[in-house]
Structure 1
Amino acid sequence: MMTFHAIGLMSGTSVDGLDICFAEFKKQETTWTFRILQAETIPYSLFWEEKLKEAIHLSSEELFELNSAYGFYLGKEVSDFLRKYRLKDIDLIASHGHTVFHQPQKKFTLQIGDGRAIRIMTGLPVIYDFRTQDVLMGGNGAPLVPIGDALLFSEYDACLNLGGFSNISLQVNQQRVAFDIAPVNILLNYLASDLHKSFDENGDLARKGKVIPELLTQLNALEFYSRSHPKSLGIEWCNEYIFPKLSGIATLDLLATCTEHIALQISNVLNQYPISNVLVTGGGAYNTYLIEKIKSKTAVEVIIPEKDIIDYKEALIFALMGVLKLNNEINVLASATGSPENHSSGIIA
């Protein structure tokens, strides 16, 4: 049996904070098991929240500067985490970084947070930039978590993540298929900010609104939803196709309509496959109104796990991806991203 101790870092497109997950992985023959030993979400200061949200508008020079600064920020937060929990004997840090651009059709994706800066701050091996190799190979560079779903959560028929965007991972004909479904928190948080809230807690705001049928029809008619997988979404897609439609309507009604839209798109996907249960993680798992809406539209059993799995599953899986890369094992599945072949991705600092 082989044992590894790794830290995974995840910053989602909804910019709610940095997830740090310290986990133990054990491999016996081809079977992997895990334990989350310590985990924490570091909320972003207003400074970092604004910096990350505005990164897409920066000049190239400013973006290079931010890439380094954010890398040193990540390194500092990990160093503080190590001291706080007195952690030692760590094999590696695996950092997803923070996505600024994601345009695989143009052969590029950018997750800032230079891994070499994290290495300088912590003195530990760092693996970063997990997406670019797949995009250069012709894949979507996303979703990446299906390798972890397959190795760590195979007891569930499907895994659904409700983060900035929703994505699903499931076995179809002996292959792990995965793809993005629809925007979730990146859309709901955007609307909640109009009401001076950082997010729609429990979906209580959406509950007060009414669904606008015309807008719902427009959203459901977007070409992305009828496209076959593999496929992925980025903030650029929302800027072009979603946000321009959200004017001239009361915010509560927009929240109600968008929540209905998200639930409908997710349930459409769940109902498309012969699955009996789905594990739901990510911040959207706490949106009880959204979960109710999904449950009302599907017979698939919706399973909400313990808090550590809801909050840290993605960071956990990036830690595993780092372990796989360090051992030169496959950590990206072609069936999920659309690349020509399975491969081992990431840069080692």
Structure 2
Amino acid sequence: MKIYKIIGLMSGTSLDGLDLAYCHIWEKKGIWEFEIKETKSVGYSSEMMNTLKNAIDLSAEKLIELHNTYGTWLGEQALNFIIDNKLEVDFIASHGHTTHHRPEMGLTFQVGSGQHLANVSGIRVIADFRTNDIALGGQGAPLVPIGDRIFFNEYDYCLNLGGISNISFDVKDKRIAYDIGLANMILNYITRKVDLEYDEDGNLARSGQVNAEMLKELNGLQYYLLPHPKSIGYEWFLAEVVPIVENTDDSIENLLHTSIHHICDKIAQQIQLNFKHNKQQLLVTGGGALNSFLIETLQQKLGDTTKIVIPEKIIIEFKEALVFALMGVLRSEQLTNVLSSVTGAKKDSSSGVLFIPN
């Protein structure tokens, strides 16, 4: 039985930093299993956070320069992680950081050059997991559902609350998944107005009240009417959501409170549209799972038919890094790691590009 020893790297749209997860992954009697052995989160400096956040406005030359320098930085973080924990590593699976995502135009781009990462770390790298699916006519997102199906299939639904909320579940033996809409992206945008990275436990939001007009505008966004497969990125947030926040004259507490009700309204709506049975279970991971006010609000909107399951903290925080490690394993075995039933591509694919260190 071969045990793959992989580091998964993930940087999400909430811009809260880089997650590294050293995982052992193996197949036993046709079933894939995992153990997360070591983890680390590296916060972004304010300078790097602003650079990544504003990368959408860079010229082509500056964007490629960022692609290379961020890839070098990823390599440095991976190398430090390996040295500090004396790790034996087969390869690194890196998502990079999404700066552009316009599937309707046939493009997606994640900065973090796999070649620079490989050269600095001295380890083989599998990266660029989204481009192939886009080339096959898909959304290039979401990708995590392959991990939901393989590692977490005992749950009726898997919900990830990162910068964006996305969900995955089975319908007639096919995995369906899509971006529901907003999550931490709007919450963190609001808290940064008062120099807070995030609203711990949702305490500020809890003390607020609903702004009815803002809630109506958010709930009325056209994206929510689109059929799946569908996905959103930072461009959509800037164009459609930021103007609503900026045009609402209210307290930070009320802005946060209203945003959480909006987030939970849209998630509950999707669960109810895809109702399976009484006593169904919803696994929630990502940073939003640690926001107790958000989780309480969501449970209230779901009622008694759906039980929210919050897993151990290592899964909450590092599930996406784990799944990219799995995607790297599947790519190395030339097995399907991107599902066309999720992305709308012409066919399933084994996606990711291998970079050999020099």
**TM superposition score category, shorter chain reference:** over 0.9
Distance, in Å, in 1 between the alignment partners of 2:185 and 2:56 is 15
Distance, in Å, in 2 between the alignment partners of 1:232 and 1:205 is 29
Q: Please point out which of 270, 294, 299 is paired with 2:298.
A: 294
- Answer whether contact 1:271 1:300 (CA < 8 A) is retained: no
Distance, in Å, in 2 between the alignment partners of 1:191 and 1:214 is 17
Question: Could you say which residue in structure 2 is the equivalent of 1:259?
Answer: 260
**Alignment RMSD:** 1.0
How many residues are aligned here? 348
Superposition pairs for residues 1-349 of structure 1, below 5 Å?
Answer: 1-88=1-88, 90-246=89-245, 247-250=247-250, 251-273=252-274, 274=276, 276-298=280-302, 299-349=305-355
Distance, in Å, in 1 between the alignment partners of 2:219 and 2:188 is 20
**Cα distance change of structure 1 residues 173 and 291 upon mapping to structure 2, 3 Å threshold:** same
Shift of 1:110: 0.5
TM-score, normalising length: structure 1: 0.98
Distance, in Å, in 2 between the alignment partners of 1:213 and 1:129 is 42
Distance, in Å, in 1 between the alignment partners of 2:307 and 2:130 is 32
Shift of 1:59: 1.1
Give 1:74's aligned amino acid. L
CA deviations over 1:266-315 (Å, ceiling 9, x no partner): 11111222150011000000111110110001131100000100000000
Partner SS for 1:209: coil
Give 1:348's aligned amino acid. L
Give 1:288's aligned amino acid. S
Shift of 1:200: 1.1
Shift of 1:121: 0.9
- Answer whether contact 2:94 2:126 (CA < 8 A) is retained: yes
- Answer whether contact 2:98 2:110 (CA < 8 A) is retained: yes
Shift of 1:225: 1.0
CA deviations over 1:136-194 (Å, ceiling 9, x no partner): 11100000011111111111111100000000011111101000011111110000011
Shift of 1:2: 2.8
CA deviations over 1:53-111 (Å, ceiling 9, x no partner): 121111111111110000000000000000110012x2110000000000000000010
Distance, in Å, in 2 between the alignment partners of 1:261 and 1:146 is 24
Give 2:349's aligned amino acid. H
Distance, in Å, in 2 between the alignment partners of 1:52 and 1:215 is 28
Distance, in Å, in 2 between the alignment partners of 1:5 and 1:278 is 29
- Answer whether contact 1:25 1:32 (CA < 8 A) is retained: yes
Consecutive unaligned residues in structure 1, runs of 5 or more: none
Shift of 1:227: 1.5
Distance, in Å, in 2 between the alignment partners of 1:145 and 1:53 is 22
Moved over 2 A (4+): none
- Answer whether contact 2:160 2:284 (CA < 8 A) is retained: yes
Shift of 1:47: 2.3
Give 2:129's aligned amino acid. F
Consecutive unaligned residues in structure 2, runs of 5 or more: none
Give 1:297's aligned amino acid. K
